[in-house]
Amino acid sequence: MTFLFFLFVALLCVLFLFMLPILYSLRAVGSLFVYPRQLKNMFGNRILRRNHALEHATIAVMMEKEPGRKLNGFSTDEGFFVQGARSLGEVDSAAREALRRLRTGEKKLAVHRNCGTTIVAANLLAAFFFLGALVFGLYLGWDIYLLMLGGIVLSLLLRVPLSLFLQRFVTTSANLSNAEVGWVEPVRPRDVRGGILGLLLAASSVRVRVFHTDPDAVEILRDDGAVVK
C-alpha cells in the first residue's frame, strides 16, 4: 500500500513537471492580449516614460552607495514610488542627483535589468517561441515539446537584452531637461492595499512628485471635464 502511494505521488510529480512548460507557454500566449497594448500605451505617455526613467536612475544612485540593497519602485503620471527607503532625505537626495546625472548624459541610469519590463520581455519571447514551435512541429513534423522547451530556455536567456531594448526605446525616456523633482513624502497607509502587508510596504515606501514644465506636459482641462496631457 505504501509503495503504491509513493508511486502515485511520483507519477503526479512527473505529470506536473511535464505539464509545467506547457502551462507556462500557454500563460505566455495569453500575455499577447495584454502586454503589447500596455507597451503601446506607455510609449504614447511621455510623462510616464520620463518618470519611469527617473525612478530607475534614483534607485541606481541609491544602490551605488549601498550595493545589494533591496529596493523596488513603480511610476505613475505624477511621479514615482520607492519601496525599501529608510528616510525621505536619502530619496530626495538620490532623486535630485539622478535628475542631474540624466541631464548630463548618463542615459544608462534610465534602464535597469530588474525592471518589470523584463517579465514582459520573457513572456513575449516565450509566447512567440511557443507559437513557432507549433508551426514547425505541425508542418515539419518536429517534436513540439522539445521545441517548446528550447523556446523557454531561449526566452530566459534573451529576456534581459530585450528588456533593456524595450526600456531604452519604449518604456523610459531620459529626456528630462524640462523635469523637476517637486517634493518627497511618505506613503500613507490608505494609499496602498493588501492589509497588513500593505501597511508594512507603506512604512518603507516614499512617494516622489515630479513636475514637467515643457508645453507638451501641461495639463489642459477640456470642456467635458477630462484632463488632457
Say yes or no to pLDDT of 126 above 80: yes
Distance of CA 57 to the CA centre of its chain: 14
Average pLDDT of the chain, as a whole number: 85
pLDDT of residue 140: 77
| Res. 136 pLDDT band, cuts 50 70 90 | confident
Q: Which of 220, 227, 209, 212 is nearest to 78 (CA)?
A: 209
Q: Is the pTM of this model over 0.95?
A: no
Question: Got the DSSP string for the chain?
Answer: -HHHHHHHHHHHHHHHHHHHHHHHHHHHHHHTTTHHHHHHHHHT-HHHHHHHHHHHHHHHHHHHHSTT---EEEEETTEEEEES-S-HHHHHHHHHHHHHHHHTT-GGGG--TTSTHHHHHHHHHHHHHHHHHHHHHHHH---HHHHHHHHHHHHHHHHHHHHHHHIIIII-----TTEEEEEEEEPPGGG--SHHHHHHHHHTEEEEEEEE-SGGG--EE-TTS-EE-
pLDDT of residue 33: 93
More confident site: 192 or 68: 68
Q: Which three cell numbers stand for residue 67?
A: 550595493
Q: Give the tens place of pLDDT for each residue, 4-40.
A: 666 666 677 766 677 888 888 989 999 999 999 999 9
- Residue identified by cell 519602485 is 73
More confident site: 138 or 98: 98
Report the alpha-carbon distance of residue 119 to residue 74 in Å, rounded: 14
Residue ranges per structural domain of the chain: 26-111+172-228
| Res. 196 pLDDT band, cuts 50 70 90 | very low
Report the alpha-carbon distance of residue 184 to residue 199 in Å, rounded: 19
pLDDT of residue 225: 40
Report the alpha-carbon distance of residue 10 to residue 17 in Å, rounded: 11
Residues 6 or more apart in contact with residue 42 via CB below 8 angstroms: 48, 49, 52, 170, 171
- pLDDT, average across residues 171-196: 79
Q: Give the tens place of pLDDT for each residue, 38-79.
A: 999 999 999 999 999 999 999 999 999 888 889 999 999 999
